A and B are shown apart, each in its own frame.
Chain A
Amino acid sequence: MTIEGGQTLNTTALKPLGSGLLALAVALATQSSQAASEAEQIIQGKCLACHAQEGDQQWSRISHQRKTPEGWLMTIARMQIMHGLEISDEDRRMLVKYLADRQGLAPSETEGARYALERRLNTQESFESQGFTEMCARCHSGARVLLQRRPASEWEHLVHFHLGQWPTTEFQALARDRDWLDLALNKMVPELAETQPLDSEAWIAWQQQAEAPVAGDWTLAGHMPGKGNFHARMNVTSAEGEDQFTLTLTGEYADGTVLAGTGQAILYTGYEWRANIEINDQMMRQVFVLNDGQLNGRMFLRDQDEVGADVVAVRDAKGTSRILALQPSHIKAGSEAEISIVGTGLSGLPILGNGVDVVEVLSASPDLIRVRARASANGIGVSTPAVGAIEGERFVVYDRIAAVKVVPEFAVARIGGNGSSTPKVEARFEAEAWAAGPDGKPGTDDDYRIGMVPANWAVAPFNEVADADGDVRFSGQMNANTGVFTPAAAGPNPQRRMMTNNAGNLKVQATVQDGAQTLSAEGQMIVTVQRWNNPPIP
């Protein structure tokens, strides 16, 4: 339906940042000033056809905004798509780097909105400002706005651009019932200029920061829904080009699957780590924040970004010892299990907690200690494990699972394929186990999280309409073992009522076996139509 969703900028052709960096980056200078001067030459040659020179290294519009690398990429791509800019991929990469470094966001300015950069597209946004929600987050993610900084004059330009480019904006639901343009110009512009101003102390302070070391060896710990935990080592070597690196990654999943590949990375704004790495013949993308010798973020399939892992990584450095993760981080009282302690600079005896005996150290290296552990009933609860002199993370001993939650509680899958331009988007669920805590009653404040546990998965109609329409039959398949839901094909389905597509509204049901007891939990999944407009920041 074109009226309600009349904004159809098609940017699906955009490739994420950094693809083929090495292949095209051979000629890039390593000196920052040299790169800057090259970028400025590109601006002179490409941008000043429309933008005005305002002073030394100052250009109209361009010099009055700050954005993430993805934000700048989208801006330049829009110039290509809508305004006839012709620019090579190499020059575009150069400009994105230059602009993100010179006019980026401080790390603190991206907090709370990084889910959009990390392509966590199941995030349910919620904002205090109703005006912001209805004016901005009605058509695209609020995060897209939160990841920009502008003065009032530039926010005003943005309002005029929106209504000029998509004139139905003021006629759509949540706009046609109010004086949209007046609200946009006279309420929203001042609000954004106040909450997201161009000038900020955080940005000034960030620019004074010393460059953090990146090259070296890193330990990664991650968790991928539908697949499980993994740990890996990643070698980072400086490459030609400013803040560019080559990567080699080797590791394994908890199920023994090898994780190995090579790739390239680029560091924007001193902390925005973006890498493309080909792992087991699939291109994966890393969107991390570099902070205090650690990388945090998400690694996901470049072409199927719902498939991804939360990742934390730490760089080997003399005098640095850190526990990154315990895999798994829980054990049932009275049982024995193999536990991996992932980190850097690990040396000494691992202690998992009261009542947990390390029966055998299976292997030990500074980045990975594997032990066989046995838990007794007197250590029930949460402990902070230690290796030698260092402590970190948490380890849980439980006697019984009191409750299970489906995570995420609400998810969106999308039909696709079938000759359409858009692939299917899966949904991935996990069962999160909770213990009742000392009071023995679930649902109280002393409950504690045990962790993700295996479950049996199924879907059911969410309501009577879903039942009558046969959503379970038509919308896709749930893998009973992995919790991965694969939606059905796109397009009208003549077998369905009113020839509708394979959309559906489903209950997601998890069944967990804990000894003799069976626990169940429920979530909701909407299987809906394709996301036609899928730019780097949704």
Chain B
Amino acid sequence: MDNKQLTSLMPVAALILGVLLPGSVLAKEPALEKEHEYMVVANYPNNIHVIDLQTDQLYKSCELPDAFGPGVTQIAPDGKTAYILNNHYEDIYGVNLDNCEVTFHASMSLQKGERTKSIFSFAISADGNELYAVQNPTMLYRDHYRVQPPRLAVYDTGAGLNAKPIRTFPSPRQVTVMQTGDDGTLYMAGADIYKVDVNTGKVDVAIPSRNWQRPLYAPPDVLNAWPIQSPSKDFTILYTTAKFQDESYNLETADWIYGFMNVNLETGETETTDFGPLTEIYFTGIRSPKDPNLVYGVLNRLAKYDIKKKELVQAAELDHSYYCIAINHDGSKIYLGGTFNDVAIYNADSMEKLGNIQLPGGDMAISTSQIFIR
């Protein structure tokens, strides 16, 4: 371990040794309970919080090493380890949620003179044994920079605090969020939604996006920063597009449309589905695990759409903007995170607000919140 890593891990090490650090007042105990439903979310200065969804109370908080941001999280299939992309997009950590211990660390940069960022881009295999990240390296030479081709790096999640890739493959550029299918396939969102064989590195298109061939449709615009692990096991990617009236391709008369691309992570089934008119922007959306015909979206309002009817069913006004949506496993409650340091809870049926959970620390910013069962 080099000095940088040693220093960066100091706060955690100090806690474990029982040294009282100023500001280190977060509770690292108790362990999570089996079969229990929780939510994690990260915030400034660099915390990860666990919320008990039976009581909707803050259950515990862990301090993380290094700097916060972007706070993209992924929960291991066993519900014990939370992985987080942090330190200005440059490091992925694994945290044992039972005791707040950092058990995994991978620096995205793999060689001297390289600065590498992962842009919201990592996932855990269905068996929990591997972690995948798309890395965007730049070589920092003495008087100039040179952007390098991106790579898909595969890590053994048991590799500890100085994990190095066990395999690397070339990756397309502009890849962001990713999820893994039950069959081991890696799905990643880029110019198209790719389907990757993690053993050979072979990249195929699962769902065409930039290159879709939908008659009278403009190419979509896709914002992808929150890789939500949904209870319905859907990898859902929102898009906005315009559908022209005819082949004159007149934008003035075109319909503006919201839709989603979706991979069913259990079956590998894919779809591209318009769900309503584009009237406002959502940063994230999620499908109901209770009713597959419902999709929710959030930014300045929490909105619910009937997918078949392609119409807005209901919208709830919010106290402030929220970036990241999550829904519990029975589909009854929606949890909104991101922006400030409060999580808002809504009844998924009535869309009534049920309450807020205040978090210690600062803004969640663009952290991904995840709901999981330990």
Stretch of A176-184, A215-223, A529-537 at the chain-chain interface: A176-184
- Complex contacts, B89 vs chain A, CB 8 Å: 167
Q: Are B320 and A498 interface neighbours, CB within 8 A?
A: yes
- Complex contacts, A60 vs chain B, CB 8 Å: 143
Interface hits, B121-158 → A, CB 8 Å: 136, 138, 140, 142-147
Stretch of B77-85, B92-100, B220-228, B267-275 at the chain-chain interface: B220-228
Q: Are A160 and B147 interface neighbours, CB within 8 A?
A: yes
Q: Are A176 and B222 interface neighbours, CB within 8 A?
A: yes
- Complex contacts, A383 vs chain B, CB 8 Å: none
Q: Name the distance in Å between A10's Cβ and chain B's nearest Cβ.
A: 15
Q: Are A177 and B221 interface neighbours, CB within 8 A?
A: yes
Q: Are B142 and A173 interface neighbours, CB within 8 A?
A: no
A45 at the interface (CB under 8 A from B): no
A306 at the interface (CB under 8 A from B): no
* Given contacts A165-B145, A179-B191, A498 and B300 within 8 Å (CB-CB): yes
Among the interface residues B144, B222, B366, which one has the most CB atoms of the partner chain A within 10 A?
Answer: B144
* Chain A, Cβ-Cβ closest to B142: A50
A515 at the interface (CB under 8 A from B): no
* Chain B, Cβ-Cβ closest to A163: B147
Interface hits, A191-241 → B, CB 8 Å: none
A88 at the interface (CB under 8 A from B): no
* Given contacts A2-B365, A3-B223, A180 and B174 within 8 Å (CB-CB): yes
* Chain A, Cβ-Cβ closest to B141: A50
Q: Are B146 and A160 interface neighbours, CB within 8 A?
A: yes
Interface hits, A110-165 → B, CB 8 Å: 157, 159-161, 163-165
Whole-angstrom CA separation of A52 from B89 in the bound complex: 32
Q: Are A164 and B147 interface neighbours, CB within 8 A?
A: yes
* Given contacts A2-B366, A164-B115, A498-B319, A157 and B221 within 8 Å (CB-CB): no
Q: Are A160 and B223 interface neighbours, CB within 8 A?
A: no
A499 at the interface (CB under 8 A from B): yes
B146-173 vs A, Cβ < 8 Å mask (1 yes, 0 no):
1100000000000000000000000001
A187 at the interface (CB under 8 A from B): no
A5 at the interface (CB under 8 A from B): no
B176 at the interface (CB under 8 A from A): yes
Q: Name the distance in Å between A425's Cβ and chain B's nearest Cβ.
A: 24
B219 at the interface (CB under 8 A from A): yes
Q: Name the distance in Å between A81's Cβ and chain B's nearest Cβ.
A: 15
Q: Are B138 and A164 interface neighbours, CB within 8 A?
A: yes
Please count how many residues in chain A sit with their CB below 8 Å of the partner chain's CB atoms. 29
- Complex contacts, A181 vs chain B, CB 8 Å: 147, 173
Q: Are A170 and B174 interface neighbours, CB within 8 A?
A: yes
Q: Are A179 and B144 interface neighbours, CB within 8 A?
A: no
- Complex contacts, A500 vs chain B, CB 8 Å: 320
Q: Which of B142, B143, B225, B300 contacts A3 (CB 8 A)?
A: B225
Whole-angstrom CA separation of A235 from B138 in the bound complex: 53
B321 at the interface (CB under 8 A from A): yes
Interface hits, B269-300 → A, CB 8 Å: 300
Whole-angstrom CA separation of A52 from B146 in the bound complex: 17
Among the interface residues A159, A171, A492, which one has the most CB atoms of the partner chain B within 10 A?
Answer: A171
Q: Are B366 and A51 interface neighbours, CB within 8 A?
A: no
- Complex contacts, A44 vs chain B, CB 8 Å: none
- Complex contacts, B225 vs chain A, CB 8 Å: 3
Whole-angstrom CA separation of A188 from B136 in the bound complex: 22
Q: Are B144 and A160 interface neighbours, CB within 8 A?
A: yes
- Complex contacts, B140 vs chain A, CB 8 Å: 164
- Complex contacts, B146 vs chain A, CB 8 Å: 160, 164
Q: Are B147 and A177 interface neighbours, CB within 8 A?
A: no
Interface hits, B193-226 → A, CB 8 Å: 210, 219-223, 225
Q: Are B219 and A177 interface neighbours, CB within 8 A?
A: yes
A456 at the interface (CB under 8 A from B): no
Q: Which of A3, A61, A173, A180 contacts B144 (CB 8 A)?
A: A61
A168 at the interface (CB under 8 A from B): yes
Whole-angstrom CA separation of A168 from B138 in the bound complex: 13
Q: Are A50 and B318 interface neighbours, CB within 8 A?
A: no
Q: Are A492 and B320 interface neighbours, CB within 8 A?
A: yes
- Complex contacts, B105 vs chain A, CB 8 Å: none
Whole-angstrom CA separation of A389 from B115 in the bound complex: 69
- Complex contacts, B317 vs chain A, CB 8 Å: 498
Q: Which of A159, A163, A171, A492 contacts B176 (CB 8 A)?
A: A171
- Complex contacts, B219 vs chain A, CB 8 Å: 177
Whole-angstrom CA separation of A173 from B220 in the bound complex: 11
Whole-angstrom CA separation of A500 from B339 in the bound complex: 12
* Chain A, Cβ-Cβ closest to B119: A171
B333 at the interface (CB under 8 A from A): no
Q: Are A170 and B173 interface neighbours, CB within 8 A?
A: yes
Binding site for B on A (CB under 8 A): 2-3, 50-52, 60-61, 157, 159-161, 163-165, 167-168, 170-171, 173, 176-181, 492, 498-500
Binding site for A on B (CB under 8 A): 69-70, 89, 115, 117, 119, 136, 138, 140, 142-147, 173-174, 176, 191, 210, 219-223, 225, 300, 317-321, 365-366
Apart from A167-B119, A181-B147, A498-B319, what 18 extra A-B contacts exist at CB < 8 Å?
Answer: A2-B365, A2-B366, A60-B143, A157-B144, A157-B145, A160-B144, A161-B144, A163-B138, A167-B138, A170-B174, A173-B223, A176-B174, A177-B210, A177-B222, A498-B318, A499-B319, A499-B320, A500-B320
What are 22 inter-chain pairs, A to B, with CB distance below 8 A? A2-B70, A2-B366, A3-B225, A60-B143, A61-B144, A159-B147, A160-B138, A164-B140, A167-B89, A167-B117, A167-B138, A170-B174, A171-B176, A176-B221, A177-B220, A177-B222, A180-B174, A181-B147, A498-B300, A498-B317, A498-B318, A498-B319
The 5 closest A-B pairs by CB, nearest first: A164-B138, A164-B145, A167-B117, A50-B142, A160-B145
